[in-house]
A and B are shown apart, each in its own frame.
Chain A
């Protein structure tokens, strides 16, 4: 079995109103050197197969068909084998 950690990031060309608003919060707190805050998603799940290639294939499909929207997001993932 593999433990998958997926990171989904909004494409640099797509506005991130949440990131902008959160960064304003930083300014209010007096944290003044923060720039270009972008908010993404981190998704964890298990993949119940023995073979890494098969796990990668399945995670790729899950990410590209459902977890991310290819028009506005990019994804990357990490697979850690769980014994």
Chain B
């Protein structure tokens, strides 16, 4: 089975080339850009919604991108079980499109947070985390966002926990999840979640910025390798 990533480009996306570079040049996967005005997913097996500031983040983050022509195709692809990963602004778009539950609000610090964070791996049995070795307590991956404060009501939080939909939580270097390791005020330190079916995943940290060894971190590779492993095996 062929492995091909389709990276959607919205006006204002700015991590599309980072994603392309990491997938093609570092990991040697097939990848193609998909312009937001198109509706053809070009036989992509995985759709990646990249980070950035689609439509200037006007109104609410991701709210206008969600109505781009390509999103109709992405939504029906996801509803048929297709694999979709949203990173940062891509995660916000998935929330606006109701492909993932909950909402994102402004960081509780009100500051744009741009730094490396540690992620505790809460569920290694997903399409997006299966290749994270069990001896690895945390992943070191950077964040860069102003609205990454994940909010959901108590019922939804319980549901996410019961269904093991929480994949990553913000932690310290030793894997302790606490208020001090929470960079934005997200409830339950949530950094990444999957949908109930397990085929749609969103995370605020940027794994594509933690792939090239030249840049000093490679933990992001494990997320893309997990997806590749799922498709190829």
Contacts and interface: CB of A to CB of B under 8 A. Distances in A.
Contacts of B59: 66-67
B67 A17 contact: no
Given A66-B59, A71-B103, A18 B151 contact: no
Given A67-B59, A71-B103, A13 B153 contact: yes
A23 to B, nearest CB: 12
20 contacts: A13-B153, A14-B103, A14-B105, A14-B151, A15-B108, A15-B151, A16-B105, A17-B105, A17-B108, A17-B109, A17-B110, A17-B149, A21-B110, A66-B63, A66-B67, A69-B63, A69-B96, A69-B103, A71-B103, A72-B151
Chain B CB count within 10 A is highest, among A13, A21, A72, for: A72
Nearest to B110: A21
B12 interface: no
A72 B105 contact: yes
B14 interface: no
Interface of A: 13-18, 21, 66-67, 69, 71-72
Interface residues of B, number: 18
Given A17-B107, A66-B64, A67-B59, 17 more contacts: A13-B153, A15-B105, A15-B151, A15-B185, A16-B105, A17-B105, A17-B109, A17-B110, A17-B149, A17-B185, A18-B106, A21-B110, A66-B59, A66-B67, A69-B63, A71-B103, A72-B105
A17 B63 contact: no
Contacts of A66: 59, 63-64, 67
Interface in B186-232: none
A16 B185 CA distance: 11
Contacts of A72: 103, 105, 151
Nearest to A39: B106
B37 interface: no
Nearest to B64: A66
Contacts of A18: 106, 110
Nearest to A73: B60
Contacts of B67: 66
Nearest to A19: B106
Contacts of A67: 59
A33 to B, nearest CB: 23
A67 B66 CA distance: 12
Contacts of B82: none
B102 interface: yes
Contacts of A21: 110
Interface in B73-120: 96, 102-103, 105-110
Contact of A69 (B60, B64, B108, B110): B60
A69 B103 CA distance: 9
Contacts of A13: 153
Contacts of A15: 105, 108, 149, 151, 185
A66 B55 CA distance: 13
A16 B108 CA distance: 8
